[in-house]
Structure 1
Amino acid sequence: MFVRTENFKEFLRFYPVVSILVAIHLVLWMLIDLFQFGFAHEWLRTGIGLNTAITAGEYWRLVTPIFLHAGLGHAIFNSFSLVLFGPALEQMLGKVKFVVMYLFAGIIGNIATYLFNPDSYIPHLGASGAIFGIFGVYLYMVANRKHLIDQANSQIVMVILVLGVVMTFVRPNINILGHIGGLAGGFFIAPLVLKNARPFSVWRNRSPRNEGEISFNPNRWKKRRFSWKKVLWVIIILLVILGLFGRMT
């Protein structure tokens, strides 16, 4: 569910929304930080989350910070998290519901940031709130829709979620309200977007012919299960390292 077995072309075809979001993260980073185009810096100035500007009527700042990041490390970490945990949910919800959930969670995170300190001059930006919203939906599954997620993946979700929440509170320069608000937004919208959802299947996007070819040799499954465990632990370690040393806001 959280281990990517697709090649690059398959990933783009199977998960177009996640692919587009990652592309937006990286393209905006390149325009703003790498190439340092003047108009891109104007986007950053007018799009970054700033509570005093929202109070003055610039309400688009509740949305635009979701797509902006503070440097390459920040963009890569959020994109990496999205690639790991977004595809399964995109397949289960469908493209439209996934977009609605993602934006809703990110906006709720920014609203929470604003409501608790509307006079703040401290800027905030990043997709972290929306990504925490993804975990909010998974948390709802673990609690109330157990048929949509198996025990092994439930444990993975809970371990990563606990690590993320702990790092949110122990690291400096983190938008705590954005993370917790996004998590709550994902959890509360979950009953709506999960209606008629089906469990994730790695074979759903593939043709019957490919499925038969891949599953022909039963010995491959044993090897794959063994390698998956190692990959999952590597993913967890990478997330911890990136969370500790990467800049998150």
Structure 2
Amino acid sequence: MGRNRYFTKTLPFGLALFIVSLFFSVPAATALSDADKTAIGTEITTIYRAARGVIAKSQKLINDASKGDKGLSADAVIAKTKENYKKATGGDFKMADAGSLKGQTQAALIDAIKNVMNDAQSLINEKGKGLKGFLPAIFAKQMGDGFNKNISGKAYIKLTAPKSYVRNRANRPDKWEANVIEKMFKSAGYEKNKVHTENAKHKGKDAFRLILPEYYKKACLNCHGEPKGEKDITGGKKEGGKLGELGGAISFVIYN
């Protein structure tokens, strides 16, 4: 009888505790530390840059009017992306656990690369046509849009730049991004290539934000260099950028 009374008294508390745990369980992103989120942001921006680098290096091939199949299938681009990733990090690309936010963001980005490249095959393989317009920035925008759709509101990525360098209005920096770019990235003492992280609102939601500065490389100057105002191969006006100058940034968000 004593035993039964013990279970009768304690069972409601156990049930209550279980019910409370259901209502007050901590979301996965909130349970992560800022260091964890920084690691995820660094991982995703590294993959993002690695993939864009494949398209940047392939511009001459893509715009070769004499060639049909360019050998840039989705699988080929993903393989080259992983090669670039290894060069950047010194280690092989490895998928994290599918249930983790890192694994989910990795899968969302790889799937976005695959979809963009599958959709672009008829364009990039068109024989007899030179300039295809499949530029690194166009690819990066499409890749980012695909990622944002795939990750279903858990994270967000976009290319941005100083306001005077933005061509695509969708890439305009928001207030937080503009402040970091103008007051930190442009300051003489800011460490090159150093990411900035902060807990700040994004589109009205509490979020962990990471932004990575990017600097003009030689290949970038074909479209974004000097003389300022001259038309580049796409018809856009050159920004007058100089080698090593801050040219843009990759903005990444994890929602809390």
Q: Calculate the TM-score normalised by the size of structure 1.
A: 0.31
Tell me which protein shows more strand as a share of its residues.
2
- More relative contact order, 1 or 2 (CA 8 Å, 6+ apart): 1
| Structure label with greater radius of gyration | 2
Which structure dedicates a bigger proportion of its chain to helix? Answer: 1
